[in-house]
Amino acid sequence: MSYFYIFLTVVLTVYGQLAIKWQVLKAGAFPEALPNKIFFLFNLFLNPWIISAFAAAFLASLFWMAAMTKLQLSHAYPFMSLAFVLVMVASGFFFNEPISPLKVTGILLVILGLIVGSQG
């Protein structure tokens, strides 16, 4: 069950990052003037999708705590690197962000690090 909690932590983390990026893109450019910046961020903060991203982060932390009751941190934490991999792949798919050969190499290194780091 602990690995399922880690899985939920990763999925909720990835969801939050994608939802925030999506809504920030929808909101437009970040204003120059300080009062406009504050208004811009306040409006984003009230956005239901942004609120759901914060809720996902909160739920992810609860699932992480549940996983920590059964697993060593040094064993479990490398699995969080899957969030980097999934966000990069999803950003290419959903936001047409470039995934270069260098980024693919980085993803493969992260996966290799996950395999090595989670041993023992």
pLDDT tier, 19 (very low <50, low <70, confident <90, very high otherwise): very high
pLDDT at 120 over 70: no
Q: What is the mean pLDDT of the chain?
A: 94
Q: How large is the average pLDDT for residues 37-54?
A: 97
Q: Does residue 118 register a pLDDT over 80?
A: no
pTM for the whole structure: 0.89
Give dist(CA 112, CA 78) in Å, integer.
Answer: 10
pLDDT digits (tens, 9 = 90+) for 47-77: 999 999 999 999 999 999 999 999 999 889 9
DSSP assigned state of 80:
G
CA separation (Å) from 40 to 21, 45, 46, 47, 95?
Answer: 14, 9, 10, 11, 21
The whole domain housing 34 covers: 2-117
Our CA dihedral for 91, 4, 73, 58, rounded to 10 degrees, sits at 60
Query: How many domains does the chain divide into?
Result: 1
